[in-house]
Amino acid sequence: MEKEFSKEIKDITSEIIAGYSKGRAIDKVDLFTQPDKTEIIYILDKLFEIVYAGCYRDRSFKIYNIESKLQLIIEDAAFHLNKQIALALRHSREHKEAAQSEIESLSAELTLSFLKRIPSIREMLEMDLQAAYDGDPATKEKEEIILCYPGFYAITVNRFAHELYLLNVPLIPRIMTEHAHSITGIDIHPGATIGKNFFIDHGTGVVVGETTVIGDNVKLYQGVTLGALSTRGGKSLRGTHRHPTIEDNVTIYAGASILGGETIIGHDSVIGSNVFITYPLPPYSRVSVKNQDLLIKGKKDSDAEVFSKDQTLN
């Protein structure tokens, strides 16, 4: 039986290997000529150690001088990021025919450009942190937000990924945000433009599309979708503004769906739970679904009563 089993495994292996010769996208087998998702997650970990030095520690370095330790972590992040950007560039259509020396030079330039943006990223994250602290009465200290809040984790990753996206780095920004998506349930495309003081409360099920524009002081709750009105056009829609614009000082409650590139939510608006919006709204709008009647039953069917109560958004 063991001999027969081994032969079957060998035959299955041969059949799968034969399939690798078909030239399809799924048939690539060279592990060292394309970006490595594990490496990119490692880079994210290094970036968290740089940005939140007191909350994320690297056990590899036993140096107590902050400058020496930080330089080592930055050098480590830079080495890995430079290599992954070079691999991503080589596989992009734009640079497929470029000389290796050109790829290496551009990769180094992009790596340094990104690292130089870390101070400004940290400024944005400090404002996001303050927004979370001010906006959530359940939190007792800011470290709790940094270490525990999935929304803040997703925002941090997006701040990194968005800068790489603006530098036209292929693939890596999306790997970063999809990693955050996989562990938080929050899906923010790296192309989305997000202003200051951004806060996602709870967060599970939030979706923010590629061309979404979000202003300053915006707060989202779980299950909010800022999406496209339709994707039936497929690739023909690429490069078009197909997601909504959310102006400053807007709060969007759980389960709301706001769709379409022409949909603008005016500043200082409040969007209630479970609404569906596909058209522009003026500033200071208050939007809510008219309450449904609730059928409440007691122990006997004869106790049933219809309950309805209006709610006002603050």
Read off φ and ψ for residue 267, nearest 5 degrees: -60, 150
Question: Binning pLDDT at 50, 70 and 90, where does residue 300 land?
Answer: low
Residue-range domains of the chain with CATH: 30-184 (1.10.3130.10), 192-288 (2.160.10.10)
Contact residues for 133 (Cβ-Cβ < 8 A; gap 6+): 139, 142, 145
Length of the chain: 314
Residue 269 DSSP SS3? coil
Give pTM, 2 decimals: 0.88
Q: Calculate mean pLDDT across residues 53-82.
A: 82
Residues with Cβ within 8 Å of residue 190, at least 6 apart in sequence: 158, 161, 162, 164, 165, 173, 174, 176, 177
On whether the CB atoms of residues 113 and 147 are closer than 8 A, the answer is no
- Amino acid found at 184: T
pLDDT of residue 232: 64
Of residues 224 and 310, the one with the higher pLDDT is 224
Higher pLDDT, residue 240 or 143? 143
Burial class, 239, CB count within 10 angstroms (exposed 0-12 / middle 13-18 / buried 19+): exposed
Bridge partners (DSSP) of residue 245 are 213, 264
Position 233 pLDDT exceeds 90: no
Q: Is the pLDDT of residue 33 over 90?
A: no
Give SS3 for 25.
Answer: helix
What pLDDT is recorded for position 96?
A: 82
Report the Cα–Cα distance between both ends of the chain, in Å, rounded.
72
